Structure 1
């Protein structure tokens, strides 16, 4: 039960951090907030893992660079989407990335059912019917984040063979380098305001450092299938956080869409082979 509580606490922390980040958008924009989150997360991870203690083979540096670039763009595109979308639907759409990776790894005929469920859920979130439709630019940005999440998982599997801590810390450092120009361009000197920096540190701790640590704790004690099923609840946790902390009310149709995405994620997780990747930690 302790591992389940740790995982749920990590999800709540992650989505609460996202709502806190959204409150910073008026001051420094989505790009500026993303730069703060990724930058402080990089500093924390580098301090914890101290990647300089081990040499990095030149042939592996490219995988680290790809992994970090995907991580940085995933965070940036998700925050840009979050500026236009409610938190719950945004997280549900982004889940298309890890769902696609799990489906590719599974290749089971029964998973076509879950493809249909996921596609139905996604279709219900598209701006094709009246007031329930979401911002189309936000959806495109979110789908870009989903693609980057899929690449992050694939590149992360290769980079993680080097050394888990070294790969994560150097990958986050690379992500910070990728995102920083966008943040500085949008926020300018406001990004260095002491109050903003303190808030950015809070976002990094709530959205990366704390959930990452709790998920690692849970992953060591839960089997991959149980871990994946529990992680599938992330969109629902996000929707509740958006409702409670931001007052973001979503329609019954959008709640149904989120439920379908969760159902597809659970179904795919239960049916995939042990070697299939699950939703990775450090998600946006």
Structure 2
């Protein structure tokens, strides 16, 4: 019999869902996941002067691949062509999403970049609904985006555009993950996609090392970004979804743009004006309103 994975062992050690300790563990895990993700992005940005966003993303892809391979242990040789093509698309989207996000962070800051990226899953949620309240949520979110992207002499339209590209990639990532999940068991598809994405970024790492050997500090920051923004959130979310309702999980995820803005302010000194904070609040409120007003799922007897 195969030995238990690290994720399974950690899951067995936590309190069961439904109990008070289980709910508290779920909330604590969600908080840790959100802070870890945004802190990792902030630490990774410290390596931009040496590695650039492309180099940091390359290292992050390597770390994500190693972690997912260890957790999921995919049987790559058994994959069929029917299974490989969505995995290949997912790998391209995965790499493009991280590269566009980190480049946007470099240009417009952590809080605004993550807020724009968050429009991806929000658009998926609103597009699949025909409720009037969700139409209102879409209007609120659109108003927030317009306020964020208002014309100005100092507006970085390339950075804003890259943030929106990250949003499109995240939406595509969600849709492709559904397809991959239907064709491959567990996290094997995600692990295969992460591995393929890491291979695509392998030439980047080689070129960086040959042209200008990076400093140990820069590499450490990039590795920390991979661990904190890929490995920890993946394992934390895997455990959290077994201990809190999906609605509560989605509601907390909507707070990530706020966490990103706070981490950017405290850790990187990236302050935001009132208009930016209002825009972030509008987008977060739109998602929260959609989740809180959605009907509870029917539980079969």
100 and 124 in structure 1: CA distance in 2 versus 1, 3 angstrom threshold? same
Structure 1: runs of 5 or more not aligned = 276-284
Residues 193-212 of structure 1 aligned to structure 2 (within 5 Å) = 194-212=216-234
Structure 2 CA distance for aligned equivalents of residues 259 and 218 of structure 1: 25
Structure 2 CA distance for aligned equivalents of residues 186 and 145 of structure 1: 24
Residues 63-212 of structure 1 aligned to structure 2 (within 5 Å) = 63-129=86-152, 134-161=155-182, 162-182=184-204, 189-190=211-212, 194-212=216-234
Q: State the 1:181 CA deviation.
A: 4.2
Structure 1 CA distance for aligned equivalents of residues 224 and 287 of structure 2: 30
Structure 2 CA distance for aligned equivalents of residues 77 and 218 of structure 1: 27
Number of residue pairs aligned between Structure 1 and Structure 2: 273
- Shifted more, 208-217 versus 144-153: the winner is 208-217
Aligned counterpart, 1:61: 84
Tell me the SS of whatever aligns to 2:169. helix
Aligned counterpart, 1:213: 235
TM-score (norm 2): 0.84
Structure 1 CA distance for aligned equivalents of residues 209 and 166 of structure 2: 21
Task: Decide whether the 8 Å contact of 1:63 with 1:155 is kept in 2.
Answer: yes
Q: State the 1:197 CA deviation.
A: 3.3
Q: Is 2:245 aligned against 1:237?
A: no
Give the superposed CA RMSD: 2.1
CA radius of gyration, larger in: 2
Q: State the 1:187 CA deviation.
A: 6.9
Q: State the 1:211 CA deviation.
A: 1.4
46 and 249 in structure 1: CA distance in 2 versus 1, 3 angstrom threshold? same
Q: State the 1:188 CA deviation.
A: 5.0
Task: Decide whether the 8 Å contact of 1:28 with 1:190 is kept in 2.
Answer: no
TM-score (norm 1): 0.89
109 and 243 in structure 1: CA distance in 2 versus 1, 3 angstrom threshold? same
Deviation track 1:49-95 (CA, whole Å, cap 9, x = no partner) reads 22137722321111111112111110011111111011111111111
Task: Decide whether the 8 Å contact of 1:31 with 1:186 is kept in 2.
Answer: no
Structure 1 CA distance for aligned equivalents of residues 136 and 165 of structure 2: 24
Deviation track 1:202-249 (CA, whole Å, cap 9, x = no partner) reads 211111111111111111111111110010000000000001100111
Aligned counterpart, 1:26: 49
- Shifted more, 199-208 versus 16-25: the winner is 199-208
Structure 1 CA distance for aligned equivalents of residues 202 and 265 of structure 2: 30
